[in-house]
Amino acid sequence: MYVGRPFSDGHQVWYVDLDNTGGGRMAAEHLLRLGRRRIGTIAGPQDMSAGLDRLAGWAAALDEAGLATDAVAYADFTRAGGEDAATRLLAEHPDIDALFVASDLMAVGALSVLAGAGRLVPDDVAVVGYDNLGAAATTSPALTTIVNPVVAMARAAGEILIDLLAGKKIGPAPVIFAPELVIRLSA
């Protein structure tokens, strides 16, 4: 039983996850609706399904809008990783007018770098994070983000595990939660 989509070797595994591809798409589409056209991303680790899926959703939305998907920097879901990635991204793509960051912790780091570079959020660069951690509501400006319902996912996984241990028949389909956008001042 997993919380988060595991990389599978073809064997049946039970897991609970968030539609991370849909969440990445939702973030990018929100930025597109705001009129942003040079949308970069700070992607999560590419050895994790969440990192891969969030990046894929962002890229799909931009591809459908006919926009470039080259403004990508990778980080490790930490504040320091977000700072480093934002620094690289701004150096390589100073024309970005929006940023999708694949975790709120990385977004906190990115907001710090943007402020240090004199880029106003959301005026110069709109920012959307991912997770809806407590920090999202306390950043300046407050962070628009995608909800990652960790408690609900853990509860669902626990219920499935209890059923499996009790010998109940469980279907092979994973439990996938729908993403939700929380709009705050950063975008």
> Which domains, ranges and CATH numbers included, belong to the chain?
20-147 (3.40.50.2300)
pLDDT at residue number 13: 80
pLDDT at residue number 14: 80
- pLDDT bin (cut points 50, 70, 90) of residue 36 is very high
- pLDDT bin (cut points 50, 70, 90) of residue 10 is low
Buried b / exposed e across 71-107, counting CB within 10 Å, b at 16+? bbbbbbbebebbbbbbbbbbeebeebbbbbbbbbbbb
Question: What are 116-170's pLDDT values in tens digits?
Answer: 999 999 999 999 999 998 999 999 999 999 999 989 999 998 998 899 899 998 8
Do 61 and 28 contact (CB within 8 A), yes or no? yes
- pLDDT bin (cut points 50, 70, 90) of residue 12 is confident
Do 103 and 77 contact (CB within 8 A), yes or no? yes
Do 142 and 104 contact (CB within 8 A), yes or no? no
Residue 11 has pLDDT above 90, yes or no: no
- pLDDT bin (cut points 50, 70, 90) of residue 183 is very high
Buried b / exposed e across 30-67, counting CB within 10 Å, b at 16+? bbbebebbbbbbbbbeeebbbbbbbbebbbbbbeeeeb
Task: Quote the CA–CA distance of 157 and 3 in Å, as a whole number.
Answer: 7
- Mean pLDDT, range 8-33, rounded to an integer: 90
Mean of pLDDT over the chain: 94
Question: What are 91-108's pLDDT values in tens digits?
Answer: 999 999 999 999 999 999
Task: Quote the CA–CA distance of 16 and 1 in Å, as a whole number.
Answer: 8
**pTM, entire model:** 0.93
Higher pLDDT, 174 or 114: 114
Do 23 and 153 contact (CB within 8 A), yes or no? no
